[in-house]
Amino acid sequence: MADQDNIRPFRPFHRLLLTGAAGGVGKVIRPRLASFAQTIRVSDLAAALPPEAASNEEVIACDLSDKQAVDALVQGCDAVIHLGGVSVERPFEEVLEANIKGVYNLYEAARKHGVKRIIFASSNHVTGFYRQDEKIDARALRRPDGYYGLSKSFGEDVAQFYFDRYGIETVSIRIGSAFPEPKDRRMMASWLSYDDLFDLLQRSLFTPDVGHTVVYGMSDNLVTWWDNRYAGKLGFAPRDSSEPFREKVEVQPAPAPESAVAVLQGGAFTTTGPFE
Ligand code: NAI
Ligand code: 15L
């Protein structure tokens, strides 16, 4: 763990906000953040968030679509890890509230309250319509694969705008598939282990002068669709690989060769919907 230890805070924040704290990723990340700031403010929807706080935590329930509530949530924070929102393809109205209004509310509050650094959980679904036999980098034309992917694409634009106009720095991490292990053949390419994700989060928070940097969140998988050259700026060198899971994954029947899950990077997201 030597390299990962080296990046530990040279500039701990005063108060770090974690949104989406009750989600799959949030639950894993939350207990590892204690040394990142004097206070960790954790947030999610009231129905999702258990009220118990660890010693340097504050727990605040907040719906990201509520502008006033988000303003109060962000007040006093100098950095944010923004995981909250709809995380799969859903009808536009749901995505609009949580992700599109949500990310706007967050950056507006960040501007008003002097936040310095935001880590935005973007998604591989901003480029989901590329084929799996294509290799792209984070500056390739975005090809969102649904309303969810569109909302993450909007979030990246919001991040760029708030850097260009107001100097708020963001690392947008286009997370591949962050789960305990790859669940299917597609995730053999897109998998991001929790340890690699945590390392990337740390580097994204503490590397100086990132401006707005867009990177893919991926482990060191043997087969990959993404040239992660811009993550070099963060010194990110993933340690895990999906390869040890190959046998377990390939016991599953292979998808039809021309199906979306076999052909397109976004897999099933490219064919989910329309919803009406
Ligand atoms: P998740 O769905 O488990 O967690 C998202 C959290 O956001 C939930 O706890 C939910 O209650 C909260 N949330 C939803 N709507 C909200 C609202 N209106 N206001 C406040 N909170 C709200 O998702 P997961 O897997 O933990 O992902 C975390 C983030 O990373 C998400 O933004 C997701 O889009 C992104 N991401 C995750 C990937 C993965 O493989 N886990 C891949 C790509 C992106
Ligand atoms: C995502 O953006 C989702 O949040 C996550 O649940 C997975 O579906 C992941 O992408 C993926 O592409 O595997």
pLDDT of residue 259: 97
Q: Judge whether residue 256 has pLDDT over 50.
A: yes
- For residues 35 and 230, the answer to whether their CB atoms sit within 8 Å is no
State the DSSP code for 75.
Answer: T
Catalytic residue from among 148, 162, 194, 216: 148
Q: Judge whether residue 47 has pLDDT over 50.
A: yes
Q: What stretch of H or E contains 13?
A: strand 13-19
Q: How far is CA 47 from CA 22, 50, 243, in A?
A: 10, 8, 37
Mean pLDDT of 26-35: 95
pLDDT of residue 3: 45
Domains of the chain, earliest start first: 4-270 (3.40.50.720)
- Other CB atoms within 10 A of residue 68 CB: 10
Both tokens assigned to 62: 């907040």
pLDDT digits (tens, 9 = 90+) for 178-229: 999 999 999 999 999 999 999 999 999 999 999 999 999 999 999 999 999 9
Q: Judge whether residue 1 has pLDDT over 60.
A: no
Q: What stretch of H or E contains 205?
A: helix 194-206
Q: Is the CA virtual torsion 60, 61, 65, 68 positive or negative?
A: negative
Cα separation, 109 vs 113, in Å, equals 6
- For residues 180 and 192, the answer to whether their CB atoms sit within 8 Å is no
107 is catalytic: no
pTM beyond 0.95: yes
Closest ligand 1 atom number to CA of residue 82:
32
Closest ligand 2 atom number to CA of residue 87:
4
CB distance 23 to ligand 1 below 6 Å: yes
- For residues 174 and 215, the answer to whether their CB atoms sit within 8 Å is yes
Centre of ligand 2 from the C-alpha of residue 265, in Å: 11
pLDDT of residue 130: 98
Q: Judge whether residue 149 has pLDDT over 80.
A: yes
- Show the CA angle centred on residue 238, arms to residues 232 and 244, nearest 5°: 150
Q: Which of 18, 25, 186 to mutate to test the pocket of ligand 1 (most atoms within 8 A of CB)?
A: 25
pLDDT band at residue 12 using 50, 70 and 90 as cut-offs: confident
pLDDT band at residue 50 using 50, 70 and 90 as cut-offs: confident
Percent of the chain with pLDDT over 90: 95
pLDDT digits (tens, 9 = 90+) for 75-128: 999 999 999 999 999 999 999 999 999 999 999 999 999 999 999 999 999 999
- For residues 13 and 118, the answer to whether their CB atoms sit within 8 Å is no
Closest ligand 1 atom number to CA of residue 190:
40
Phi-psi category of 235—alpha, beta or left, where left has phi over 0 and alpha has psi -120 to 50? left
pLDDT of residue 51: 86
Q: Which ligand is nearest to the CA of 175?
A: 1
User: What's the chain's average pLDDT?
Assistant: 95
Q: Which of 27, 188, 269, 272 to mutate to test the pocket of ligand 2 (most atoms within 8 A of CB)?
A: 269
Distance of CA 173 to the CA centre of its chain: 5
Cα separation, 110 vs 99, in Å, equals 16
Q: Judge whether residue 13 has pLDDT over 90.
A: yes
Cα separation, 186 vs 203, in Å, equals 27
pLDDT of residue 2: 40
Cα separation, 156 vs 123, in Å, equals 10
Q: Which ligand is nearest to the CA of 125?
A: 2
Percent of the chain with pLDDT over 70: 96
